Chain A
Amino acid sequence: MSTTNKEIGPPVIELGAMGWLRKNLFSNWYNSSLTIFGLYLLYILIPPLVNWIFLDANFVGSTRDDCTSEGACWIFIQQNIKLIFYGLYPTEELWRINFVYLILFISGVYLLIPNLKHKGWVGAFLLIIFPIICVIMLSGGLGLEAVETRLWGGLFLTLVIAGVGIVLSLPIGVMLALGRRSKLPVVSILCTIFIEIWRGVPLITVLFMASNMFPLFMPEGVNFDKLIRALIGVMFFSAAYLAEVVRGGLQAMPKGQYEASQAVGLTYWRMMALVILPQSLKMVIPAIIGSFIAIFKDTTLVLVIGLFDFLGIIQFVGTNPDWLGFSHEGYVFAAAVFWVFCYAMSWYSQRLEKKLDTGR
């Protein structure tokens, strides 16, 4: 028996590149025609795009007159790069933003390298001390010249709104989710009402309310910064969505996990923090990151209340008479940058899922 079995290998047709092609792309007539149609689509789309973006594009020069060839005019982006990245932030103070980026970059890289010690401390620094540094560095104080938030703009503003929204909305969302599942009816009803109100209103309405209605309710002379109002709006909006995502995770937890935690004597908050949330948040990582990505892209709506985020400022520089007619370049550039950030989040979420997988 065993001697004859050795002679039988897998069918040859399944092996090698030809086998793979046959199995996956040409297994039957409609599969084959779809493959050929797909290749044809790529053929008519890709070469012109590559030509426009790279091969025929203009990279060197300083005015629109230098854009002589047929492709994209990247000089437009290059000449306006400071506006696009930093808004109207004073040029001599730009180092403050870059300094903040640098700290963020270094700590981020540190956290991404596997098996380094003291990651907990770096994380705590990012969550507690870094925000304080940001406020002082970016808006001024401690001898630094104040920079009003109406001068903030571009990619920098987008990152501030998305960053604050993402970092603050997760803990608020978790609390709302726990509150909604609370056994105390008052807590549960209040959380439910809060969640449903914010989820029932479009973000654009939230931003309008924050910008135009809110001051009407405040006493004369009290003036909240417009950016802070927008941040609060984005934060609660995102928190309401996250609350429902987290609640889904909580509902998927087997009852036995609660019982085992109670049986060993853990109190409610410890049970949640040590047993239930680590597992249920892990289950909903894809949906949480989905919400984060949505919020990142939704920050573009702040344009309607007169804040010039990344996309807003690109549209704005496109209206400059010196650069009329280059909106294509602007949008393609904006799309590429948005894609990089969103894909980075997506990549990180997949990495995190793999890392946290304990084979359940």
Chain B
Amino acid sequence: MSSELMIEMKNVHKWFGELHVLNDINLEINKGEKIVICGPSGSGKSTLIRCINRLEEHQRGNIIVEGTELTNDSRSIERIRGEVGMVFQQFNLFPHLSILDNCSLAPIWVRKLPKTEAKDKAMEYLKRVQIDDQAHKYPAQLSGGQQQRAAIARALCMEPRIMLFDEPTSALDPEMIKEVLDVMVSLAQGGMTMIVVTHEMGFAKEVADSIIFMDEGQIVEAKNPEDFFDNPESERTKTFLSQIL
């Protein structure tokens, strides 16, 4: 497998006021790799992936996404946001737009695709997440699982090279988690580079190339799934695993 470096984080630090939320993060992610990040709440895992598309600003160190370093230069931010798709815990669909318009909005206004082409492509991705029959409904008319799948389709419509998932199933009713995970698994099998913050350990075992455990802003352990579950080194990882498994 050719190892093309997609994301590189070097000595990244971030503080919220006095709170050191990211403490010396070093991370390299290659093309096609699937990374699962887990850890207790407040450990900085969401902040970490939100730094990758600049929803949060890191204060020290370097983040390089596909060869472009994230700085305050708005053009580099825009370029990176075009390459990086994101899925949120609360879906964050645009409630005033139909599902189809949610998906075609950014392709039309950011990618400058002609309207019909953008809508065709949106339908294609909606079909892939199996809600093409809901395309003309509004988000509020859909179930949580459908909304999250629509949100995944919306991100995919920008044809990103990297997908970030911030606890994508945490706000879902249990019976809807699987339909969202299925979509994510098939996306992973398609070769997408993915970083997923989640507590779904079944998903982690199935698709992750490596699992990162974070606590108090630090990466405590980063291993392939088998080693991670069978021989965790640190006490903190062991405690965490015993609590969630």
Contacts and interface: CB of A to CB of B under 8 A. Distances in A.
Interface of A: 254, 256-257, 259-267, 270, 274-275, 278-279, 282, 356, 358-360
Chain A contact surface mostly:
helix
Nearest to B164: A263
B154 interface: yes
Given A264-B154, A265-B158, A359-B141, A256 B90 contact: yes
Contact of B88 (A260, A274, A275, A358): A260
A100 to B, nearest CB: 34
B43 interface: no
A260 B94 contact: yes
B92 A259 contact: yes
B105 interface: yes
Given A265-B158, A356-B96, 17 more contacts: A254-B90, A256-B92, A259-B92, A262-B53, A263-B84, A264-B81, A264-B85, A264-B105, A264-B106, A264-B154, A266-B105, A266-B110, A270-B109, A278-B96, A282-B96, A358-B96, A360-B95
Contacts of A267: 74, 78
Leading 6 A-B pairs by shortest Cβ distance: A260-B92, A264-B106, A256-B92, A359-B140, A263-B86, A358-B138
24 contacts: A256-B88, A256-B90, A256-B92, A259-B88, A259-B92, A262-B54, A263-B85, A263-B88, A263-B155, A264-B105, A265-B78, A265-B106, A266-B110, A267-B78, A274-B109, A275-B94, A279-B95, A358-B95, A358-B96, A358-B138, A358-B139, A358-B140, A359-B140, A359-B141
Contacts of B55: 259, 262-263
B35 interface: no
B168 interface: no
B39 interface: no
B44 interface: no
A72 B155 CA distance: 68
A264 B110 contact: yes
B82 interface: yes
B152 interface: no
Contacts of A360: 95-96, 138-140
A282 B54 CA distance: 29
A257 B82 contact: no
B93 interface: yes
A20 B93 CA distance: 43
B225 to A, nearest CB: 28
Contacts of A274: 105, 109
Nearest to A268: B74
A226 B167 CA distance: 62
B81 A260 contact: no
Contacts of A262: 53-55, 81
A123 B39 CA distance: 54
B81 A263 contact: yes
B74 to A, nearest CB: 8
Contacts of B82: 265
Contacts of B95: 279, 358, 360
Given A259-B88, A358-B140, A265 B110 contact: yes
A200 B133 CA distance: 54
A266 B92 CA distance: 14
Contacts of A275: 94, 105
B46 to A, nearest CB: 11
A275 B141 CA distance: 19
Contacts of A279: 94-96
Contact of A264 (B74, B141, B158): B158
A12 B112 CA distance: 63
A22 to B, nearest CB: 37
Nearest to B108: A274
Nearest to A255: B92
A358 B139 CA distance: 8
Contact of A257 (B74, B92, B106, B141): B92
Nearest to B107: A264
B109 A266 contact: yes
Nearest to A359: B140
B184 to A, nearest CB: 17
Contacts of A265: 78, 81-82, 106, 110, 158
Interface in B33-75: 53-55, 74
